[in-house]
Amino acid sequence: MKRIETLRHKMIEQKLDAVLVSKPENRYYLSGFTGSTGTVLITRDEQFFLTDFRYTSQVKQQCPGYQVIQISQADPIYQAINQKVTGTIGFEDDFMTVENYGLYSSKLEAEMVPMKRLLEDLRVIKDDEEIALMKQAQAIADLAFEHILGFIRPGVTEIEVANELIRFMKSHGASGESFEIIVASGVRGAMPHGVASEKVIQPGELVTLDFGCVYRGYCSDMTRTVAVGQVSDELQSIYNIVLQAQETALAAVKPGVTGQQLDTIARDMITEAGYGDYFGHGLGHGVGLEIHERPSINQAGSETLRPGMIITDEPGIYIDNLGGVRIEDIILVSEDGYEVLSSSPKELIVLPT
Ligand code: ZN
Ligand code: ZN
């Protein structure tokens, strides 16, 4: 498997004789295992999957190339590791609990070395298989958006909209939603993370929908803001400012720019339009097996974009007692620019009342 090869190159560079992986996203990335319990052990020339009897047959099905080691109270994991590894062993210092660290460091013969997000470094660049899965995850979300336009009308609650999105995405191949769906209508639109409530949607309101699904482990993420009937001139004007900022930042996506530079492009436009104080979050984030992962697309985003990264571009304006607008695309950084994975229209859609 190509990913394990790449990892082994890094292990040699970092003088690691083995690595121990149990964070679910990293474990899935290396093995394809979708169960909830198990530890991947990669040595310089072999790969093992350590799990209890509930999962041994699942590992055999899902993880070709792995040797399964069954662990139990009588055969604890550190004993199995000690039989396979001496020297140095990398562990996920951002994931292992303090309790497990104490146990492993007292029981393992190998020296434990923090991996410092080595797997996340690999995951930040998506391979062709991952890009295909991300495209499919986003295609399901785009279909759901088209569908929900016919569902949103005055009298429907935000929760009904969220539930319909989930139902639709699951019936089109998603395993679930990629985060708690945001449906924020009217004045609730001023809350950037206003998860769907019992509020009834009214004529003359904007409705912000921020949602995505999980498809074979990979997350999609999109935001559109739609009008239910005619909205005020001010909301219309805010919409146009956000859209312009979103599209200008998008046009600047290419290898070599940083997340901080993209954030600044959108932020300067919104500030010049007089709404700088109302754009209180970063422009975007990386997406993949996790809904929020590297690279950071905000003022702290010093990482340079490279082909194969997948990021979001999601400026917004939020005004208390008035409402809010956010527009979000998910974008693949390509060799010479970008490819937008979300296909839903971005001009303001006015739904019938
Ligand atoms: Zn989103
Ligand atoms: Zn997002």
My answer on whether 103 and 232 are in the same domain is no
Residue 8 CA to residue 18 CA, distance in Å, equals 9
**Nearest ligand atom owner, CA of 224:** 1
Provide the greatest CA pair distance for the chain: 71
**Nearest ligand atom owner, CA of 285:** 2
Q: What is the CATH number of the domain that holds 200?
A: 3.90.230.10
Residue 64, burial from CB neighbour count under 10 angstroms (0-12, 13-18, 19+): exposed
Phi first, then psi: what are they for 192, rounded to 5°? -55, -30
How many Cα atoms are found within 13 Å in the side-chain-facing hemisphere of 236? 9
3-state SS, residue 342: coil
My answer on whether 114 and 160 are in the same domain is no
* Domain stop point among 68, 102, 123: 123
Q: What is the CATH number of the domain that holds 31?
A: 3.40.350.10
**Nearest ligand atom owner, CA of 284:** 2
Residue 86 CA to residue 89 CA, distance in Å, equals 8
User: 205 CA to middle of ligand 2, Å?
Assistant: 22
Asked if residues 327 and 223 have their Cβ atoms less than 8 Å apart, the reply is yes
My answer on whether 14 and 139 are in the same domain is no
Asked if residues 83 and 46 have their Cβ atoms less than 8 Å apart, the reply is no
> Residue 38 has which token pair?
């198990």
User: 283 CA to middle of ligand 2, Å?
Assistant: 9
* Domain stop point among 94, 123, 152: 123
My answer on whether 136 and 117 are in the same domain is no
H or E element, residue 278: none
- Give residue 1's pLDDT: 81
Phi first, then psi: what are they for 308, rounded to 5°? 100, -10
Distant-in-sequence, close-in-space partners of 136: CB < 8 Å, separation ≥ 6 = 173, 215, 216, 218
My answer on whether 12 and 49 are in the same domain is yes
User: 60 CA to middle of ligand 2, Å?
Assistant: 35
User: 256 CA to middle of ligand 1, Å?
Assistant: 24
User: 62 CA to middle of ligand 1, Å?
Assistant: 30
Residue 74 CA to residue 347 CA, distance in Å, equals 63
**Nearest ligand atom owner, CA of 210:** 1
Residue 105 CA to residue 96 CA, distance in Å, equals 12
My answer on whether 223 and 342 are in the same domain is yes
User: 171 CA to middle of ligand 1, Å?
Assistant: 21
Phi first, then psi: what are they for 320, rounded to 5°? -55, 140
CB neighbourhood size of 195 (10 A): 16
Residue 223 CA to residue 328 CA, distance in Å, equals 5
Residue 122 CA to residue 280 CA, distance in Å, equals 30
Tell me the whole-structure pTM to 2 decimals.
0.95
Domains in the chain: how many in total? 2
- Give residue 32's pLDDT: 97
* Domain stop point among 97, 123, 149: 123
> What pLDDT tens digit does each residue of the chain (353 aa) get?
899 999 999 999 999 999 999 999 999 999 999 999 999 999 999 999 999 999 999 999 999 999 999 999 888 999 999 999 999 999 999 999 999 999 999 999 999 999 999 999 999 999 999 999 999 999 999 999 999 999 999 999 999 999 999 999 999 999 999 999 999 999 999 998 889 999 999 999 999 999 999 999 999 999 999 999 999 999 999 999 999 999 999 999 999 999 999 999 999 999 999 999 999 999 999 999 999 999 999 999 999 999 999 999 999 999 999 999 999 999 999 999 999 999 999 999 999 99
Residue 51 CA to residue 57 CA, distance in Å, equals 10
Q: Which domain holds residue 87?
A: 2-123
User: 181 CA to middle of ligand 2, Å?
Assistant: 11
My answer on whether 269 and 139 are in the same domain is yes
Q: Are strands 350-351 and 222-228 parallel, antiparallel or unpaired?
A: parallel
> What is the DSSP-derived secondary structure letter of residue 60?
H
Asked if residues 122 and 6 have their Cβ atoms less than 8 Å apart, the reply is yes
My answer on whether 174 and 284 are in the same domain is yes
My answer on whether 33 and 134 are in the same domain is no
My answer on whether 151 and 244 are in the same domain is yes
User: 221 CA to middle of ligand 2, Å?
Assistant: 6
**Nearest ligand atom owner, CA of 222:** 1
My answer on whether 70 and 181 are in the same domain is no
List b or e across 27-43, with b for residues whose CB sees 16 or more CB atoms inside 10 angstroms. Answer: bbbbbbbeeeebbbbbb
Closest C-alpha to 314, from 284, 334, 286, 270: 284
List b or e across 311-341, with b for residues whose CB sees 16 or more CB atoms inside 10 angstroms. Answer: bbbbbbbbbeebbbbbbbbbbbbeeeebeeb
- Nearby residues for ligand 1 (ion, Cβ within 5 Å): 210, 221, 223, 328
Closest C-alpha to 235, from 189, 287, 301, 167: 189
My answer on whether 237 and 224 are in the same domain is yes
